[in-house]
A = this chain, B = another copy of it.
Amino acid sequence: MAGTPITVAHGDGIGPEIMEATLHILEQAGARLDIETIEVGEKVYQRGVSVGIEPSAWESLRRTRVFLKAPITTPQGGGFKSLNVTTRKTLGLYANVRPCVSYHPYVDTKHPQMNLVIVRENEEDLYAGIEHQQTHEVVQCLKLISRPGSEKIVRYAFEYTRRNNRKKVTCFTKDNIMKQTDGLFHKVFDEIGAAYPEIEKEHWIVDIGSAKMADTPEAFDVIVLPNLYGDILSDVAAQIAGSVGLAGSANIGDQCAMFEAIHGSAPRRAGQNLANPSGLLLGAVMMLVHIDQPDVAEKVHNAWLRTLEDGIHTYDIYKEGVSKQKVGTKEFAQAVVDRVGKRPEKLKAVNYSHAPKQTVTQDATATRPRAKKEYVGLDLFLDWAGGPASQLGPQLEKLEGDLKLQSISNRGVKVFPGELPGFVYSDLWNCRFLAAQNGSTVTHSQTVALQQRVASAGFDIVKTEGLYTFDGQRGYSLGQGE
């Protein structure tokens, strides 16, 4: 039987040792792999390739679509770009997957029962970093959430749960405040979750959910969440599990997936047969499930758990009274190989081989019927420091033309018409214009002409946001009090 083609990079520092140990274990456990080796990292950077990877290496990744990557060293100094950011952006790796597991009593933790997986959306949200300063006082960043992006990550989370024989998916959002952006993510979670009746589903508001996770992480199984929340909570979860040095992660895209340890290349430990290969090995276990070799993944993972509970530990987790034998990288790998076929007796064994197969392809973002989109008005944002709203409103009303000034908001609070005594204004004003006739639509030539009138009157228009309905539903929020 032909092996699955994968691309391997041995990396820098302790990378080559832990990769060698990992590949030795995979091979001995019967993994069916056809390995292409590429070079990334320090030497490539030093040859003047600013992203740390050669064009020929991209070809291998596009061919095999599976990347097992050892830690690399990014040289100090300017001009070098993060290989991980480049890979993520170039290959569209939309999911970051990070299991956070306690191995009590073999590794110290305050949370002995913890065993959860963070599935973080990795391309959207505030992390596009689209920022604008348009007034002296106020700076803006755009938070963007898309339906296809939300569908991909949520579907991945459910598929991951099924294939890894887990039981529950929890979604975290702040949709009590961000009803449209986080609301969309939550809605997609409910829609897609319906196709997985055997999986338990729950949703938490991110503040309370985070508190629960930090205090009682054993209450969670798989957690799927937008980029920013995922960034924060994946670090929290990895830290409180107490096993940052033992953790692997996956970055999943439509075209390619990358598997690695979450730790770095530790150059000072390099070449001494000291390093713990567990993080990379657990990354490789995720890869085996991903490439449809769950039987081998299960064998490797259970042999590793058995090694851990047999007290055969590398220096980083060795503890007098708990550990039985302190070993080097190679000896640890051999101990795992010797236990292939065995299961842990105290730690919970994993079970991948009987999990259901993948049921939908990852890129099957369904073509949905397009809603009827209607243009109903314009939010005109002004940089203005001329006094309270009662000064601004009447001036704008004179410029209404065939539109109508509906309201003015400042800092999200409606301040015109109506008074708010003592309100502290910023210099960014949102002036909302709708069609003069209730419920009518507007045209671009009307809203462009409005801008022309307002600009000619000397106002500084710093941004506009179109107001739309979709199938008659309002696509924009109201100001507080509007």
Q: Which residues of A contact B (CB under 8 A)?
A: 89-92, 110, 123-124, 126-134, 136-149, 174, 177-181, 184, 206-208, 210-212, 214-215, 228-229, 231-236, 238-240, 254-255, 368, 370-371, 373, 379, 383, 409, 411-413, 420, 422-424, 426, 428, 430, 444-445, 448, 451-452, 455-456, 460-468, 470, 475-477, 479-480
Complex Cα distance, B136 from A475, in Å, reads: 10
Q: Which residue of B lies closest to A241 (CB)?
A: B215
Closest approach, in angstroms, between the C-beta of A241 and any C-beta of chain B? Answer: 10
Closest approach, in angstroms, between the C-beta of A14 and any C-beta of chain B? Answer: 22
- In contact, A235 and B255 (Cβ under 8 angstroms): no
Complex Cα distance, B58 from A422, in Å, reads: 13
Complex Cα distance, B303 from A103, in Å, reads: 43
- In contact, B464 and A455 (Cβ under 8 angstroms): no
* Copies of this protein chain in the complex: 2
- In contact, A468 and B133 (Cβ under 8 angstroms): yes
- In contact, A146 and B137 (Cβ under 8 angstroms): yes
A129/B463 contact (C-beta < 8 A), A422-B255, A451-B451 known:
no
Q: Which residue of B lies closest to A420 (CB)?
A: B90
Complex Cα distance, B342 from A62, in Å, reads: 72
- In contact, B207 and A232 (Cβ under 8 angstroms): yes
Closest approach, in angstroms, between the C-beta of A120 and any C-beta of chain B? Answer: 11
- In contact, B214 and A236 (Cβ under 8 angstroms): yes
Complex Cα distance, B420 from A64, in Å, reads: 19
Complex Cα distance, B109 from A214, in Å, reads: 12
Q: Which of B137, B235, B371, B466 contacts A207, CB < 8 Å?
A: B235
A240/B215 contact (C-beta < 8 A), A148-B426, A177-B126, A235-B207 known:
yes
Closest approach, in angstroms, between the C-beta of A148 and any C-beta of chain B? Answer: 6
- In contact, B463 and A466 (Cβ under 8 angstroms): yes
Complex Cα distance, B132 from A145, in Å, reads: 11
Most central of A144, A177, A232, A452 by chain B CB within 10 Å = A232
Chain B residues closer than 8 Å to A146, beta-carbon distance: 137-139, 411, 426, 428
Most central of A110, A177, A409 by chain B CB within 10 Å = A177
Q: Which residue of B lies closest to A474 (CB)?
A: B133
- In contact, A422 and B92 (Cβ under 8 angstroms): yes
- In contact, A231 and B207 (Cβ under 8 angstroms): yes
Closest approach, in angstroms, between the C-beta of A223 and any C-beta of chain B? Answer: 14
- In contact, B140 and A143 (Cβ under 8 angstroms): yes
- In contact, B137 and A147 (Cβ under 8 angstroms): yes
Chain B residues closer than 8 Å to A411, beta-carbon distance: 123-124, 128, 144, 146
Closest approach, in angstroms, between the C-beta of A366 and any C-beta of chain B? Answer: 13
| Closest 5 pairs (CB-CB, A-B) | A128-B412, A133-B475, A444-B455, A211-B239, A211-B235
13 contacts between A and B (CB under 8 A): A126-B177, A128-B412, A129-B412, A130-B479, A131-B181, A136-B368, A136-B470, A140-B142, A143-B143, A148-B426, A174-B228, A206-B232, A214-B240
